[in-house]
Chains A and B, each alone.
Chain A
Amino acid sequence: MSDITRAEVCVTACADLFLGAGETLASPMGLIPSLGARLARLTTEPDLLLSDGEAFLLTPESTVEGWLPYRKVFDVVAHGRRHVVMGANQVDRFGNQNISAIGDHAKPTRQLLGFRGAPGNTVNHRTSYWVPRHSTRVLVEAVDVVSGVGYDRAAGPFHDVHRVVTNLAVLDFDTPDHSMRVVSVHPGVSVDEVQKQTSFPLVVQDVTETRLPTGEELELIRTRLDPGGKRDGEVPQ
């Protein structure tokens, strides 16, 4: 199994985000989280709902099982049966996320997408993040603009930032003050390396190694979900 790639470890770590999700809309943004969500549906979470990224809910066989135009996505967000995995230009130690702008919001040094759905997602349902390049530029002490809401802000009864999966590690906020903790490091990565690539001190206790994909999962990833190997372009070995 020594030929298992970092990208494949990241895909199964993303699949594990959905453990116990049941009949919930999984909304993965980006390739690795999408592969993870589809893998979860084919293995542990057959009841997950997945869209084509546009207006249709699709079965694993890609037949249409439902209609979900953007306006109905907002209904699902408010209803709460959704777990989104968003990207992040910045994430801080309490899980605040920025996809809006770098610098001063009035005149940014770098304009990004805008708030998009991040404020609504984070106060309404479970949210995770995917960071393909774990670095001090992304894992920052404080984000420039709070798009996704972190644990140090009043965010109402449904706020639930679950995990951050990066190319180096899996992190969560399961600490007394909800500051970021290392759950596991990917095979070949040290805790020191993760800390060095993070701008704030991480909580480090009982860190494990991120699990490897099973034989069945590898088969699904390689032959069914991503036979062209696009995953290795997003997460180099």
Chain B
Amino acid sequence: MRDKRMTADEVVGEIKGGMTVGIGGWGSRRKPMALVKALLRSGVSDLTVVTYGGPDAGLLCAAGKVRKLVYGFVSLDSIPYDPWFKRARETGAIEVLELDEGMFQTGLRAAGHRLPFLPLRAGLGSDVLKYAPELRTVRSPYDDGEELVAMPALKLDVALVHLNRADRHGNAQYLGPDPYFDDLFCLAADRRYVSCEQIVETFDGPPQTLLLNRMMVDGVVEAPGGAGFTSCVPDYGRDEALQRQYAETASDLEKWPDFYERFLR
């Protein structure tokens, strides 16, 4: 079986300007921050970033890497609003496709199933469709004739996710309470990279925790602490102090470069 071990910089070497990059996790939870850091250090820009957004979205906006952001929300969980995302929006620095959270999941599912769209109710009557005129509705061909949102596939060039354990072949395991949507991100993408706390030979714990199989992964990066400062339970919780510093320095541009340099190291 193939050995897919790589470094974070090698992963980022596969990402070109203009690509669509999906980032796993949720808010400030189990984000692939080691891979995001490598992206921040790289020369790549003009990205379309697809994420249940947290500080990954904020940092990429701060570094000017994002052309367009696709999200259901951007939040730091314990701090309601990400300051860099806020700034990017309020200065009109980024294009956005702002979705309902369930529409986002449905878009990933459609991509993973190689379908052009999947129907759902979420979005009807709201301003999601108003601000994304490219989104269309579809009418049921059956007797009910119901009109539904035709959520288009959110196809990704690259997926970046972080899990607790992986083997060198790309089988990977979450040990926390929630898988989030990392499997859907991988299924929706052409190239799939997983970082993990530890590369193992064999897995402990129930097989149901093996979220990714090796068909779903092209590269494995061992990155202990690689979700920090977001949470990666049970290996570690969120580094609230560091997250607070991130949020505070964002509103003080004198302090920001110093924080950013320290964060990238």
Contact = CB atoms under 8 A, between A and B. Distances in A.
A149 B126 contact: yes
B177 interface: yes
A197 B149 CA distance: 37
Given A109-B90, A113-B80, A78 B99 contact: no
A112 interface: yes
Contact of B101 (A74, A107, A149, A154): A74
Which of A67, A70, A118 gathers the greatest number of chain B CB atoms within 10 Å? Answer: A70
Contacts of A113: 73-75, 80-81
Contact of B127 (A55, A105, A154, A157): A105
B253 to A, nearest CB: 18
Interface in B74-128: 74-75, 80-81, 85-86, 89-92, 98-103, 105, 120-128
9 contacts: A77-B102, A105-B98, A107-B90, A108-B90, A111-B89, A114-B73, A117-B100, A120-B121, A153-B126
Interface stretch (B36-44, B178-186, B198-206, B212-220): B178-186
A100 interface: yes
Interface in A163-218: none
Given A106-B92, A107-B90, A114-B98, A145 B177 contact: no
- The prevalent SS among residues of A at the interface is loop
A156 interface: yes
B126 A115 contact: yes
Contacts of B90: 107-111
A115 B127 CA distance: 9
A107 B90 CA distance: 5
Interface in B13-66: 26, 53
Which of B103, B126, B178 gathers the greatest number of chain A CB atoms within 10 Å? Answer: B126
Interface of B: 26, 53, 71-75, 80-81, 85-86, 89-92, 98-103, 105, 120-128, 130-131, 146, 177-181
Contacts of B123: 119-120, 123
B97 to A, nearest CB: 11
Nearest to A124: B121
Nearest to B101: A117
B57 to A, nearest CB: 10
Which of A108, A119, A147 gathers the greatest number of chain B CB atoms within 10 Å? Answer: A119
B125 A155 contact: yes
A148 B73 CA distance: 14
Contacts of A153: 125-126
Contact of A70 (B91, B92, B180): B180
Contact of B177 (A55, A100, A106, A154): A55
A100 B89 CA distance: 11
Nearest to B87: A111
A17 interface: no
B102 A115 contact: no
Nearest to B123: A119
A70 B26 CA distance: 9
Interface in A111-144: 111-120, 122-124
A78 B102 contact: yes
